[in-house]
Amino acid sequence: MKNVLIFLALLIPTFLISQDERASSNERSDIQTNRGFGSFSIRGYVQTRYNRLLETNPDLNCEQCDKSWGKGGGFMLRRARMVLSGQISKNIYFYLQPDFATSAGDKLHYGQIRDAYVDVGFDDDNEYRLRIGQSKLPYGFENMQSSSNRLPLDRHDGLNSAIKNERDLGVFFYWASKEKRALFSRISREGLKGSGDYGVFGLGVYNGQTANSPELNDEPHVVTRFSYPFEYKNQIIEIGVQGYTGKYVIAAKNISEGVEFKNDGEYLDRRAAASFILYPQPFGILAEYNVGEGPEFNKNNNAIELQSLHGGHVTLSYKKSLFNQIFIPFTRLQYYEGGKKHETDARSYIVKELELGVEWQPNKNFELVVQYTMSNRRYEDFILRDNHQVGNLLRLQAQLNY
């Protein structure tokens, strides 16, 4: 209870700041656009979390999503992002985003590059673009959705297991008509929890070892995506398909002694996924599912093998404006069965999880999320054998947008 009171006390000053004195990130972006080429904007967000309320199993954790789950966890800065971006000329756009809440071993809050890229347009409306640098991969709607927009506190395991930190270094081609780019912009401007403008069609090549990791073979991954948003009566719907293929190398430091693996540590890594989005006006649906193949630990013979995988999620939401404030109750059901190539021994997973929550936006610069998670996770490697953890926990997140 003492921890809860401290947490709430930290929030009170935020509520006292008038909404009229704050400019939203979308408003600031519009201001920068009106200034013309050669200018840039600075924006970002900070997330503070606490996950230990009503916790029933302190041994339940989630390495890829939130390291403050379970025993030893406490208050945590989940993200501290700053975005510098700008259309510096008619056909050149840049985007730079560091995160100052990165964990490194037992030390917290290191700075690390998340995005660093330039978009080069080839026509007057930049319908055809080439993105060069480190950026999010066009695979999965929720993967590309900013953590500042997403309703559940963490991305679902099904598609997020494909790409740690959702990013890699490469070159990507995007196309969308002027009308569709305007629709993507409208979705963002109206706070409909969009994923941003990654084109209607995307095609790219990238290292395949995920963000801020060196390339370990000479074979780049290839990814492609087609996602089409359209208006139907008073609704906006988006449907998409995507897939990637390549060869992933498991670094020796991520393999336990005694585990058998390919001599070069190289495994086929390929997936395909489908997405359906009904933007919340007021009722929203986000559904995604993927299938594929990748490395996974087999405890029966202590070996990392190429195995099939599958999983996805359904998220339901309802957006309600009340007393000039926004409330979005939501629920998500997810399932995943397969390996996680980034984790020790390509850890094997079976995940079944139900989440119930609500996001409250008293103004455009502050959000509070309360989420109750009911989790059933089996995750096993050479050390974690027969590791089946079931538990519930109440999670809190305060987010400042600037």
Domain ranges within the chain, ordered by starting residue: 39-401
DSSP string, 355-395: EEEEEEEEETTEEEEEEEEEEEEEEE-SSS-S-EEEEEEEE
Fold of 39-401: Porin (2.40.160)
**Strand 266-278 and strand 76-89: pairing?**
unpaired
Buried b or exposed e, range 233-256, using 16+ CB within 10 angstroms: eeebebebebbbbbbbbbeeebbe
The confidence score (pLDDT) of residue 28 equals: 35
One digit per residue, the tens of pLDDT, for the chain of length 402 reads: 444 433 343 343 333 333 333 333 343 333 333 445 778 899 999 999 999 999 999 999 998 888 889 998 899 999 999 999 999 999 999 999 999 998 877 778 889 999 999 999 999 999 999 999 999 999 999 999 999 999 999 999 999 999 999 999 999 999 999 999 999 999 999 999 999 999 999 999 999 999 999 999 989 999 999 999 999 999 999 999 999 999 999 999 999 999 999 989 999 999 999 999 999 999 999 999 999 999 999 999 999 999 999 999 999 999 999 999 999 999 999 999 999 999 999 999 999 999 999 999 999 999 999 999 999 999 999 999 999 999 999 999 999 999
Alpha carbons 289 and 282: distance in angstroms, whole number = 24
The confidence score (pLDDT) of residue 3 equals: 45
Is there a contact between 188 and 182 (Cβ–Cβ < 8 Å)?
no
Distances (CA, A) of 208 to 81, 99, 243, 342: 24, 21, 13, 11
